[in-house]
A = this chain, B = another copy of it.
Amino acid sequence: MKIAVDAMGGDYAPEEIVLGAVEAVKAYDFDVVLVGDEKKIRGVLTKYGAKESDRLSIVHASEVIEMGEHPAQAIRRKKDASIVVATRLVKDGLCDAVVAAGSTGAAVTAALFGLGRIKGIERPCIATPIPSKKGITVLLDSGANANSKPKHLVEGAIMGYHYAKYILGVEKPTVGLLNIGEEASKGNELCQKTYPMLENLKTISFYGNVEGRDIPKGTVDVVVCDGFVGNVILKFGEGMAMFIIRLVRDTIKNSGFIAKLGALAVYPALKSLKKRLDFTEYGGAPLLGVDGSFIICHGSSKAKAIKNAVRVAGEVAERDVVGHIRKSIEEEEVEQYDSES
């Protein structure tokens, strides 16, 4: 498996991206193609005593899409942007998956334009792993579609199921519909219409409605929702986690001498916890529904996150998540659903 990594995307590009790739080829059996400014990439490699090889190569791309640019316009105009070139490598069969840490909008657009959608999928979506009491809950859509229709949530349920099964290794993943009550009749129009459609699916196991608290509780393996809701939750959760960890630290700090002594011993534990709650540590979020393996990383990704993302990208390709989704969508005949429903 050969992973195309956009070396120019993200707040710490190219340095941390290149470093992550170097670590990935050491740790895993996946090869990496670094896509971007050849000179800059080579500079980082040299700086850290790493070398190009069969397993770690460079494909030059002369342009970069910046964070502020309008995704569709930028993708259309900059034919030689690193994210566009990386995606093309997969389209042309030269690579098996893309890892991208730049603008999410640009990544989604590059994937849609460059790879197209799996037949029957109308709206690809971003699946984000969220830490929970039981390990990981996959939340999707976490930001690709802000105006989902029932069909899109059904697609999400199917895609999330296969991601949990083949990448997280859950034998029979349960899928819940995010709602504001347990009964089928609860919630907004979107949920009320989606519920019976999910009940009718043959290829996945629908658990029923779940509520916000079920995400950290780990009630189900996959939680499906509209991309607006998912994105708000994701960012709220990240902010909340960092806020609480800081509160814990401050609370300890202001608790008198003995607590302070205790704190010295507790801080390393807090630090490791902070990592566990850092959603970026989980190796990126797959963009599911495009016709190829595509992993989106947080803009603030450092080497470790990129390394993890390369592993996830390799696994998504190797275990043919796209193929499993395609098969399931065919069996469910999702494409025949009226897209207005």
Contacts and interface: CB of A to CB of B under 8 A. Distances in A.
Interface of A: 132-133, 143, 146-147, 178, 180, 187-189, 191, 211-217, 225-229, 231-248, 251-252, 254-256, 258-259, 261-266, 268-270, 272-273, 276-277
A105 B255 CA distance: 41
A240 B269 contact: no
Given A133-B243, A273-B247, A234 B212 contact: yes
Contacts of A212: 231-239
Contacts of A245: 244, 248
B261 A248 contact: no
A213 B236 contact: yes
A269 B252 contact: yes
B243 A217 contact: yes
Contact of A211 (B232, B259, B266): B232
A266 to B, nearest CB: 5
A180 B273 contact: no
A264 B261 CA distance: 11
A207 to B, nearest CB: 16
Contacts of A268: 255, 259
Contacts of A225: 232
A266 B263 contact: yes
A171 to B, nearest CB: 24
B259 A243 contact: no
A248 B270 CA distance: 7
A80 B222 CA distance: 44
Contact of A262 (B143, B226, B261): B261
Given A213-B238, A232-B233, 8 more contacts: A147-B188, A214-B239, A233-B233, A236-B236, A244-B245, A251-B270, A255-B265, A262-B263
A103 B48 CA distance: 62
25 contacts: A147-B188, A212-B231, A213-B235, A216-B240, A216-B243, A229-B229, A229-B232, A232-B233, A233-B233, A233-B236, A236-B237, A241-B244, A244-B245, A244-B277, A245-B248, A247-B276, A248-B248, A248-B270, A251-B270, A251-B272, A252-B269, A259-B269, A262-B262, A262-B266, A266-B266
A69 to B, nearest CB: 13
Contact of A240 (B188, B240, B248): B240
A191 B228 CA distance: 10
A241 B270 CA distance: 15
A245 B248 CA distance: 8
Contacts of A234: 212
A239 B270 CA distance: 19
